[in-house]
Amino acid sequence: MPPRSSSRKAFTLLEMMLSVAVFVLLVTSAFSLVGATSELMTEVSEVQNEAAQRMRFIEVCRAAFESMTGNSSLEFHYFDRSGGRFDTYLALVDAPDAFDFGANTQDEIRRVVLAAEIQSGGYIRTRVYYMDDLSFDEAKKSDFQQHDAPHVELIPRMRQLSWRFYDPLTREWKQTLDGNLKSNLVELTFQIDASSPPMRSVYWHLNGGGR
């Protein structure tokens, strides 16, 4: 049996403990870095998604108003649902290409209604209803609470959505389309999430109705 060499090299206990400590430190740092990176990327992605959703909504509305012809007109209805919070219904009359996602296929559909309806929790649901004269009259009789018109959901949860209409005579924005206001400019203000500020957009459209 060969004699054990006393000069054999090995790590000391101190070196081993130090190595393990550094390893633990690096692993912990790496994990926290990956976690923070993942969290930041998730937040960035959410912000991007919401911004894209805002822009898509604006573009969809713009396309709808631009599709209005000289025979088209606007109607605006609103109903107090709870303590000053209103459901609003903006009807684009005789604008067959407005919000055309394939649901507006019937010739008798005269009104494409962009609805902003208060939901439980205070959120607003935005939908587009496709209505003929009969279903629109019935819906109006029930304050738009009982109808089964075909619809497309645009944004299920929104914090705020309001419309205003430009009066060229007084050069002021009006809350409603009452009387003989012939408005060609419509203002939309909406807020999807509380973390982002309200967004304002203005649309011009042909208006043959002159309500």
Q: What does the binding site for another protein look like in residue numbers (CB under 8 A)?
A: 18, 22, 26, 29, 33, 36-37, 40-41, 43-44, 47-48, 51, 54-55, 58, 166, 168-169, 171, 184-185, 187, 197-204
Question: Least distance in Å: CB of 61 to another protein?
Answer: 12
Phi then psi for residue 69, to 5 deg, are -110, -175
Please say which residue, 65 or 76, places its beta carbon nearer to another protein: 65
Please say which residue, 20 or 137, places its beta carbon nearer to another protein: 20
Question: Least distance in Å: CB of 152 to another protein?
Answer: 23
Q: Can you spell out the DSSP letters for 140-187?
A: HHTTTSS----EEEEEEEESEEEEEEEETTTTEEESS--TT----EEE
The answer to whether 100 and 87 have CB atoms below 8 angstroms apart is no
Please say which residue, 94 or 187, places its beta carbon nearer to another protein: 187
CA distance 25 to 88: 58
What separation in angstroms does the CA of 204 have from each of 122, 144, 150, 156, 188? 30, 27, 27, 26, 11
Q: Which residue has the tokens 């819906």?
A: 139
Please say which residue, 53 or 94, places its beta carbon nearer to another protein: 53
Q: What is the distance between the terminal CA atoms of the chain, rounded to a whole angstrom?
A: 111
Please say which residue, 42 or 142, places its beta carbon nearer to another protein: 42
Q: Which residue has the tokens 């203002």?
A: 187
Cα within 13 Å of Cα(29), Cβ side:
6
Question: Least distance in Å: CB of 16 to another protein?
Answer: 13
Question: Least distance in Å: CB of 178 to another protein?
Answer: 20
Question: Least distance in Å: CB of 33 to another protein?
Answer: 6
Question: Least distance in Å: CB of 151 to another protein?
Answer: 27
